[in-house]
Amino acid sequence: MSDHGMMEKEEIYSKVLRAGRRTYFFDVRATKAGDYYLTVTESKKFTNDDGSFHYKKHKIYIYKEDFSEFNEILKEMTDYIISEKGDEVISERHQKDFKKEEQFESDDITEGGESTEKSSAPDKFTDISFEDI
């Protein structure tokens, strides 16, 4: 294979962002003509029923002539999301193993540390008193 053929597959500059089950790869690559472009790849890990796993990957290519508009729209969209929903991450509650933590306001707790609210969830433990032997 010629040096020119190797160049189109060569990663010029790369960064990785690990985010839970997702990993994002940002790679600067070279075109056949020697110009640079950006690929963004999302790789997500999935576990099979037998315990083995596989990855699904999605890739987008962003070329220099689109950088300005792409950056503007990306910034506009991310700013909109943060202004509308804040930066608290709430997506974990949609995962199948998510368990909501019980939160009590300070007004709901008596001086003895007992909650004044009745919970519909069963108690996690039973308090048992033993007489001294």
Give the DSSP per-residue string, 48-81.
Answer: -TTS-EEEEEEEEEEEGGGHHHHHHHHHHHHHHH
CATH of the domain at 60: 3.10.450.700
Is 129 domain-assigned?
Answer: no
pTM, entire model: 0.58
Residue 98 lies in a domain: no
Residue 90 banded pLDDT, cuts 50, 70, 90: confident
Percent of the chain with pLDDT over 90: 46
Give a yes or no: residue 15 inside a domain: yes
Is residue 131 assigned to a domain? Answer: no
| Boundaries of domain holding 15 | 3-87
Q: Give a yes or no: residue 79 inside a domain.
A: yes
How does pLDDT run across 38-69, given as a tens digit for each residue? Answer: 999 999 988 888 988 889 999 999 999 999 99
The total number of structural domains in the chain stands at 1
